[in-house]
Amino acid sequence: MRFFGLALLAGAAVLGACGGGENKAADTTAKAAAPAAAAPAAAAPTSTVPKVAATGATHEIKMIGDDKGYRFEPADITIKQGDAVKFVMVTGGPHNIAFDAEGMAPDAKAQLDANMDQKLSELSSPMLMNPNEAYTISFGGVKPGKYTFHCTPHLAMNMKGSITVQ
Taking the complex as a whole, the smallest distance from the CB of residue 94 to Cu ion amounts, in Å, to: 7
Q: Spell out, one character per residue from 130 to 159, where the chain touches Cu ion: x when CB under 5 A holds, - when not.
A: ---------------------x--x----x
- Three-state secondary-structure class, residue 31: helix
CA distance 32 to 121: 10
Element (H, E) at 13: helix 2-19
| Closest C-alpha among 153, 156, 162, 157 to residue 95 | 153
Of 114 and 116, nearer to Cu ion (C-beta) is 116
Among 71, 95, 150, 160, binds Cu ion (CB under 5 A): 95
Size of the site for Cu ion (CB under 5 A): 4
Written as one string, the DSSP assignment of 33-50 is GHHHHHSS-TTS-S--SP
Q: Does 89 bind Cu ion (CB under 5 A)?
A: no
Closest to Cu ion by CB, 59 vs 154, is 154
Stretch that binds Cu ion, among 17-25, 35-43, 88-96, 122-130 (CB under 5 A): 88-96
- Cα-based distances in Å from 121 to 17, 91, 99, 137: 26, 24, 11, 15
**Residue 120 CB, nearest approach to Cu ion (Å):** 13
Residues that bind Cu ion (CB under 5 A): 95, 151, 154, 159
